[in-house]
Structure 1
Amino acid sequence: MKNLSFEPFSAYLEELSYTKSRFDVFDDFLTMMVCSLSMGRKEEEYLRTVKGYTKKELDIFCKAFASVIMQMEYRQLEDPFGDYFEEHLSNGRNGQFFTPIPVCELMANIVHGFNKASEQDAQKTVSDPACGSGRLLLASAKIDRNRYFVGSDISETCCKMTLINMCLNSIEGEVHHMDTLSLQTWRKWMVIIDKFTRIPYIYEVKKESQVLRLCKEDSIMDANIVNDENKTIQRVKQTSNGFIRFTPKVP
């Protein structure tokens, strides 16, 4: 039987960082994870990312990925990336540090009123305009993960950390790579939970005309129809929580 024990993912990344930039290794690792969780839609981006690594190095990335999965399996709704980022990457990059986990949990309890949401509150949105690695969203999900979670950050690396944390913890919502002061947006993703398999995956929204939110009663086929410019949008309806829901005209 194979030995399935793994070192912390940071040990594998540090091994790769002897010959490459530590930041590039970490960012590429996050990109590989996001692509792997995108149901085969990001093959081109994945191949571009792995192009600069040898087979041996890619094997090490695989071990790091498995290590993250194992860590999240036993320590659910905890952020595995923030501490590594602060310890190894923050120095020299604007001194970036994330909100301590106990403070995140206190803020989440204050917002939620120390009670689980009622059925009427279940569809409310939890938004963090500077999400970092997603700690505030994870803390809120510990209280009630049935809400809709939206994270935004000016750092694409931070957005990837939040995306992975949300997807691997089955937290439905959106992540926006944007400047929340000017509202300039560069990339948008959704974390969707399949209605039948209950498997979470990442879906990148490519254009402004695409749906910003897939409501729970909609299917991913709606997004695919909206994604096709040759199809006609029959009706656009503004939802009560401010997100746009597209209802496609099915041929």
Structure 2
Amino acid sequence: MSNKSAQRKHATTTGNHPKELVKLIQQMSHRHHTLDVFSDFVELSALSISNAIDKTQFEARERRYLEIIAKYTPEEVQAFPKMLAELVMSFEDETATGSVGDVLGPIYMALDLGNERSGQFFTPAEISKLMARLLVGDGSDVRERGFLRLNEPACGAGGMVIAYADALQSAGLNYQDSMHAICVDVDVRCVHMTFLQLALLHIPAIVVHGNALSMEQWSHWYTPAHVMGGWRGRLARERDQTAPQGAPVETTEDGAAVLVPVEPEATPTTGAAAIDFGKLEQLALF
């Protein structure tokens, strides 16, 4: 197939996969509430990815997976991997255009699943990308520092973090190596959405189900890029290099200062180093 033919084929299929994902969700809504189907889809997908990389939490998350899947018939269960395939292909369509975008956020809002009573509205992708590109600029600051650390204590579907990845890519930087994110949300559905999207885009991140106001934390989710990229060590080295000379360095079990919780090891560990929410602003770049 020629390049022009491939481009025409891509042009005719771009945008179809999110629509197919919505159709698959809606087809199951005759027996289940749409919000339940969507929530179960993102959680099942998140559990599957987590269990492939984080063996310290495998048993509990495998039990949760089986608990969710038991609600559905064998025929319905087959729809979930199809949904994940449509999501993956949606991201492939995005990356084929040279950009990185939020897929689940717009679908979540299009299905009218947002919680207006709690003020839950996702920032439109265009605004997120504009903010990110204004702050990243030509990427010279990131090149000088080595990598960017991004904190998002109200992450939603992860759209703002994805926008920063897109901005870094536009500046000629590999976001898989030049950015690490800590994402927090009180809504566990948002945690699963963020983790799933960042995992599929291979963005190094730790996603926390927690409350940045009360400082409660209930679960930690490590993206494959965080684990495979050796970010535990990178964050620890960055902490040591930036600590004031002669100042006491606080050591946590994960070796990545107070901002990072315990990450998965080859053998199970006990305890957890909590994220210091006091150091998180609404959106912090440092």
1:17-166 to structure 2, matched below 5 A, reads 17-40=29-52, 41=58, 42-76=61-95, 77-88=100-111, 89-90=113-114, 94=118, 96-115=120-139, 117-144=141-168, 145=175, 146-166=178-198
Alignment pair present for 1:182 and 2:214? yes
Specify the SS of the correspondent of 2:63. helix
Q: Say whether 1:228 aligns with 2:266.
A: no
**Aligned residues of 2:46 and 2:192 also touching (Cα < 8 A):** yes
What letter is aligned with 1:47? L
Q: Distance in 2 between matches of 1:125 and 1:160?
A: 21
Do the aligned partners of residues 132 and 229 (structure 1) sit closer, same or farther apart at CA in structure 2, a change above 3 Å counting? closer
Deviates more, 1:7-16 or 1:50-59: 7-16
Structure 1: give runs of 5+ residues left out of the alignment.
Answer: 197-208, 215-219, 231-235, 237-241, 243-251
Asked whether the 8 Å contact 1:174–1:213 carries over to 2, the reply is: no
Task: State the distance in 2 between where 1:47 and 1:12 align.
Answer: 21
Q: Which structure has more helix as a fraction of its residues?
A: 2
Conservation of the 8 A alpha-carbon contact between 2:129 and 2:167: no
Q: CA deviation at 1:192?
A: 3.0
* TM-score for the superposition, normalised by structure 1: 0.74
Displacement after TM superposition at 1:132 (Å) = 0.5
> In the alignment, is the contact (CA less than 8 A) between 1:190 and 1:213 conserved in 2?
no
Higher relative contact order (CA 8 A, sep 6+): 2
Alignment deviations for residues 217-246 of structure 1 (CA, whole Å, 9 cap, x no partner): xxx8x7234x3349xxxxx9xxxxx8xxxx
Corresponding pairs, count: 210
AA partner of residue 219 (structure 2): R
Distance 1:50-1:210 versus aligned 2 partners, 3 A rule: farther
Q: Give, as a single letter, the amino acid of the residue that structure 1 aligns with 2:165.
A: A
Alpha-carbon spacing, 1:23–1:195, altered in 2? closer, same or farther (3 Å):
closer
Amino acid at match of 1:94: S
Structure 2: stretches of 5+ with no match in the other structure: 1-15, 53-57, 169-174, 230-251, 258-262, 274-278, 280-286
Look up the SS of the partner of 2:118 in the other structure.
coil
Taking a change above 3 Å as real, the CA distance of residues 190 and 86 of structure 1, as seen in their structure-2 partners, is same
**Cα RMSD (Å) of the superposition?**
2.9
CA deviation string 1:33-81 (max 9, x = no partner): 0122124433222111101100110112221111111111121321111
SS where residue 78 of structure 2 aligns?
A: helix
The 5-angstrom pairing of residues 236-247 of structure 1 reads none
My pick for the range that moved more, 48-57 or 79-88, is 79-88
Equivalent positions of 1:166-177 (< 5 A) are 166-177=198-209
